[in-house]
Amino acid sequence: MQEESRLSLSCYDKINYYSFLSNIDMSLAKYQELLAPIYQFLQCETPDEWITEAKKAENLPV
């Protein structure tokens, strides 16, 4: 039988991880706050299909 391997994090690692996640949440909140007037004006978010199409190499050069 195989023994399960588990990742063991120290308290310091856990604190850094939670701090990292907190910073991501704060960054996302800032972007959402900045984009709020644009979304309000557009009355919807950009459809995923449009973003996928825009990311294609032939559509990137300006």
- pLDDT, one tens digit per residue, over 8-62 is 667 777 777 777 777 776 777 788 888 889 888 988 878 889 989 988 888 887 6
What is the identity of the amino acid at 26? M
Q: Say how far apart CA 39 and CA 46 lie, in whole Å.
A: 9
Q: Is the pTM of this model over 0.75?
A: no
Q: Which pLDDT belongs to residue 9?
A: 65
Residue 30 · residue 24 · CB < 8 Å: no
User: Is residue 6 very low, low, confident or very high in pLDDT (cuts 50, 70, 90)?
Assistant: low
pLDDT at 2 over 70: no
